[in-house]
Amino acid sequence: MPRPSHRSKILSEGLKVVHERGFGGASVRDIVQAAGVPQGSFTNHFASKEAFGLEVMDLYFANSRETIRETLCNDSLAPLQRLRDYIDANIEHISQNHAKNGCLFGNFAVEASDHSEVLRLRVVDIFAEVQKCVAYCLGAAVEAGELPSSVDCDVLAQFVVSSLQGAILLAKAQRSPAPVEGFKELLFAMVLR
């Protein structure tokens, strides 16, 4: 009888460890301990810690894509409500554990970008996809008359994604979602009015 694969357990538990401790702060030993599997299981399933990091990002992004589908790309909702819901989902997510963990992608951007070109490029691709979805939502807001036709949706989307990530980083440092809540308030009161 073949042995069961520990791959999915290493990924799901490893994601939690990496999100909590950072990619550099999470050793392979920490990851396999959290998964409750032998250390050899890690090397059986992942060529390197970097390869594991890529898969952790993809797993986290699968959850993010679901949120994006339900909010930014949900054509059954009013466009600016979609954006509001997306930011609220981010606030809810980072509020777990007193905003201590922040955003996994932002953490990778800060921590791993100098050490791994592969991880850095994956983060860049992920943020580009998020930005494209925000631009799609803003384009729908222009079409619905919620925003003026003069709005450059791509530039505004870049601003939203960059500002949201900065606010999440501050929220992590302050252990409070207040910076993200403040960004949302300012965005809707002044930028998108």
- Average pLDDT, integer, range 47-64: 95
Distance of CA 52 to the CA centre of its chain: 17
Q: Is the pLDDT of residue 175 over 90?
A: yes
Does a structural domain hold residue 99? yes
| Higher-scoring residue by pLDDT: 19, 99 | 19
Does a structural domain hold residue 155? yes
In a shared domain, residues 40 and 96: no
Alpha-carbon distances of 53 from 80, 130, 135, rounded to whole Å: 34, 19, 28
Does a structural domain hold residue 52? no
In a shared domain, residues 64 and 157: yes
In a shared domain, residues 18 and 103: no
* Whole-structure pTM value: 0.92
pLDDT in tens, 5-45: 789 999 999 999 999 999 999 999 999 999 999 989 999 99
